A = this chain, B = another copy of it.
Amino acid sequence: MIKVGIVGYGTIGRRVAMAVSIQPDMHVSGILKTKPDYLAREASRDFKVFCSDEKALNNFKEAGMPCHGTLDNLIDDSDIIVDASPEGNGKKDLEVYKAHKKPAIFQGGEEPSIAEASFNAYSNYNDSYGKKYVRVVSCNTTGLARTLSVVRDNFGIEHISAVLVRRGADPNDSRGGPINALEPSLKFPSHHAPDLKTVLGNVDVNTVAIKAPTTLMHVHTVQVEMNYPATAEQITDLLKEKRRILLVSGKNGVTSTAQIMDLAREMGRDRSDLYEIAVWKESITVKEKRLNYIQAIHQESDVVPENVDAIRAMMQLANQEESIAKTDASMNIGKGAI
């Protein structure tokens, strides 16, 4: 059993902790928190909570909450660390993991250069096999890589042009925005284009990102110039055959991200999450070699199974197919259409 330490217990960290805890070949050695807040209290029911430093240790003591040691102790108790601390912390943390000679996974908010490889289970699992430092790409890049790898593997990709309508803030974020405006990223292409190349190979890709006042999901419109012509039926069938992709349809009442996330609640998933990328069936249109589709990304959770697979790749626990199958079976991640 691989011992996995989780550093950071925010949106991603707490979900990865849960996912790791239900795998047959790994368990959670502990999670690291900086503050004795409501999340620390909830976490302490399921996991050993460690504190970031001596000062945090005192704060936990004052709050009457258990703390099993500091970051150094957690690292010593772990075979591998999943670092889900706030964006930009990774570089500093990396030095600590290196000093302890422990492998670590970083999240998509960090620069690609922080790791030996960027990771997406479908598009480049093997690039991280046996590696010590790996970065799981962001929720948006994960969503693009997952569906686009299917297109790449079957029809080739000449050019990708994607528009990302991004959620302004996560559901637990009362500081984010905008509250009544549309805010384009004024970097062209947006950072998603180079990020996608880290996992999909050197494709010609342009991305534009626009923030919108919503908390539920991102929505992507994707246009692909393929190397070979295809039909909408072929693309639909291929996407339907992949787990971690869910075809949805307005005909069944799924006309916006509101119904997709409502569907996730009905599915009874942990935290009402949707790990799958939702693709609108009617949006899959092809004109010769030009493919268009629209997909929605649950930004809080699509990277969670990816982190689990990254652990297996790095620790050489399973090959690509075995790992994905194991993760998906444990998390009840399916395929197909609703």
Identify the A interface with B (CB < 8 A): 161, 163, 165, 178, 180-184, 186, 188, 206, 208, 210-217, 219, 221, 223, 250, 255-258, 280, 282-283, 285, 287, 292, 294, 296
Query: Is there an interface contact between A214 and B163, defined as CB atoms closer than 8 Å?
Result: no
Cβ-defined contact, A186 with B255, below 8 A:
yes
| A292 touching B210, Cβ below 8 Å | no
Number of copies: 2
CB of A193 to closest CB in B, whole Å: 12
- What B residues does A255 contact at CB under 8 A? 183, 186
Pairwise interchain contact B294-A257, C-beta atoms closer than 8 A: no
Name A184's contact: one of B183, B186, B214, B280 (CB within 8 Å): B280
State how many angstroms separate the Cβ of A214 from the closest Cβ of chain B.
Answer: 5
Q: Across the two chains, which residue of chain B brings its CB closest to A161?
A: B223
User: Which chain B residues lie closer than 8 Å to A292 at the CB level?
Assistant: 188, 206, 208
A219 and chain B: residue at smallest CB distance: B182
A213 near B216: Cβ-Cβ < 8 Å: no
When distances are taken between beta carbons in the complex, the residues of chain B under 8 Å from A212 are 165, 182, 212-214
B215 in contact with A180 (CB, 8 Å): yes
A214 CB contacts on chain B under 8 angstroms? 178, 180-182, 212-213
Q: Are A219 and B184 in contact (CB under 8 A)?
A: yes
Most buried by B among A182, A186, A208, A250: A182
Measured CA separation A186–B165 after assembly (Å): 16
A283 close to B186 (CB less than 8 A): yes
A183 CA to B221 CA, complexed, in Å: 12
* C-alpha spacing A337/B212, complex, angstroms: 25
Task: Given A161-B223, A163-B221, A213-B214, decide whether A282 and B208 contact each other with a Cβ distance below 8 A.
Answer: no
Docked Cα-Cα span, A324 to B310, in Å, equals 61
Q: A181-B214, A208-B292 are in contact. List 5 more A-B contacts (CB 8 A).
A: A178-B256, A180-B216, A182-B219, A183-B256, A184-B294
